[in-house]
Chain A
Amino acid sequence: MPRFKLVDGVSIQLTADEETARDAEEAAYAAGAFDRAIAGVREKRDMLIKETDYLALSDNTLSTEMTTYRQNLRDITNGVTTVAQVNSITWPTKP
């Protein structure tokens, strides 16, 4: 199926060279799918851990439930090697 670009408001069909270049761009982007997905998981994990960091200060004693929650977050990427696994991650519930 031909693709089109919009140049100054006019829709123009891609040349064969442009189609090839775009295919390569999209292939490269697709190849990075797992890296992007796992980066998103790490980002969310880090934010969730940060939210409870104040409970781990030296003048406070972490509950067993909170210790388990934070450890589960740290382990969230263990054994995850595919995008499908990333998408099926079950996040622990904050106690």
Chain B
Amino acid sequence: MVVAESLADFQGLTRLFTFLLGKKVTGRRLGASSNAGFECVAFADNLRNFTLPTFSERTTQRLRAILERCPIDQIVDAHNPFDLTPMADDAAYEEAVLAVMEHESVDVGIVGCVPMTPPLNTLAHDERHHEDIDREDPVVQRLLRLNDKIARPWVAVVDAGILYDPMAARLEGAGIPTFRTADRGLRLFDIFCEVKTLSPPSAS
């Protein structure tokens, strides 16, 4: 049983437990990725009971190949949390998240997206720009597809203003727990993992 400390936490935790229903928490080894350096630092600074496993050579090679294509391999290393930088595009995002979440030592994941960057399609359709999150290729649609592939529990963070509310709503509407800041996401996700770790397997 979990007692939330505030109404906001109550709502956040209720969404976590319902959206991640059936997901098994096998440990607290966190795979983290973001396209913002500050958010990677925020992940590392708010780990609570999570740990950041070191990527294997195989995963590192997968991530380096993504960085080379961007190309940002000369300025970024492939480590956990994985910093995609604002130069990463939608396709690179999808590949990187999958590589991190498929790493053998990762139990759970957090995917940050600071969306106000030109290479990413993160805005709802509007006559003032050419972005549209409802097209097939934007990072939102890619994350929705990934959610079906990834068995491990993971949450998303969209740390941006109201222009990006539609993006966060699309992710939440598809069942991906989505927070607006990294520290809040990790705090509630840590509580979720604690409860799931202590709980017996569900009979339902």
A binds B: no
